[in-house]
Amino acid sequence: DTGVSQDPRHKITKRGQNVTFRCDPISEHNRLYWYRQTLGQGPEFLTYFQNEAQLEKSRLLSDRFSAERPKGSFSTLEIQRTEQGDSAMYLCASSHPGTSGERGYEQYFGPGTRLTVT
Amino acid sequence: AQSVTQPDIHITVSEGASLELRCNYSYGATPYLFWYVQSPGQGLQLLLKYFSGDTLVQGIKGFEAEFKRSQSSFNLRKPSVHWSDAAEYFCAVRPNSGYSTLTFGKGTMLLVSP
């Protein structure tokens, strides 16, 4: 169990540029989540995948945001035309299948990607 | 909609003293409850969770939490704080059915003084 990994750890970009973040979940986990955390706040849910299917999107996920998980393994989160308000920590988490009983309720988080939009 | 309140933004505790971090939730039924810890620049680590059964749950690093249904609370405790416990602590809830998004509180920053 190598844990959830995220790349890059830090990204500085100019307003208007596009950025893409990658998340690699724990290998046997079929559920994957993206959260956004701004300064002084707890993480806020963005979107959720079960295998390759995107099952839920928060209203926080504007049209400039898109997430994919093409083969049900790693996921990418793309932000187009970045704005200063997009500056935040983007966290990825994964969990066991729901059929794993209580283990399916525990989410394991990666270290996050800190985005700064200048 | 469910919500989580952590009323203390910062708490300072002397090393070796006891700790209690407060968490209250608002939800129509008993949710599943979690405490996470986040060190600077790090992701969140699960400390403990409550699903059902015994209302006093034990976690890692010597932490425990008690679920009180009548108070809609899930306070985190530790009898003796170590300097390495300085971090931000988040309480989170999720529904006890359906898919599993978490709702987090705003966090409590724990400072440990010598």
The whole-angstrom distance between A42's CA and the closest CA on chain B is 4
Chain B residue with Cα closest to A43: B104
Query: Whole-angstrom Cα distance, residue A57 to residue A59?
Result: 7
- B40 Cβ under 8 Å from any chain A Cβ: no
Residue B99 has pLDDT above 70, yes or no: no
Question: In angstroms, rounded to a whole number, what is the distance separating the alpha carbons of residues B83 and B111?
Answer: 8
Q: Which of B100, B103, B109 to mutate to test the interface with A (most CBs of A within 10 A)?
A: B100
Q: Taking all residues of chain B, what is their mean pLDDT, rounded to a whole number? A: 92
Give residue B61's pLDDT.
94
Q: What is the pLDDT of residue A103?
A: 62
Q: Does A112 touch chain B (CB under 8 A)?
A: yes
SS3 state of residue A37 = strand
For residue B2, pLDDT beyond 70: yes
B30 pLDDT band, cuts 50/70/90, is confident
pLDDT at B87: 96
A-chain residues near B25 (CB < 8 A): none
Q: What single-letter amino acid sits at A18?
A: N
Among A87, A49, A89, smallest CA distance to B90 is for A89
B65 and A CB contact within 8 Å:
no
Instruction: Say how far apart CA A71 and CA A52 lie, in whole Å.
Output: 6
Q: Do A102 and B51 touch (CB under 8 A)?
A: yes
Position B28 pLDDT exceeds 70:
yes
Q: Walk along chain A (118 residues) in steps of 10 and give the mean pLDDT of each run.
A: 90 98 94 94 93 90 94 94 96 82 79 96
Chain A contact for B44 (CB, 8 A cutoff) = yes
| Residue B84 main-chain phi, psi, to 5 deg | -70, -5
Contact state of B102 with A95 under an 8 Å Cβ cutoff: no
At B18, the pLDDT band (50, 70, 90 cuts) reads very high
B31-76 tens-digit pLDDT? 899 999 999 878 899 999 998 888 999 999 999 999 999 999 999 9
Identify the pLDDT of residue A112.
Answer: 95
CB contact A40 to B (< 8 Å): yes
Share of chain B above pLDDT 90, in %: 77
Mean pLDDT of B85-108: 88
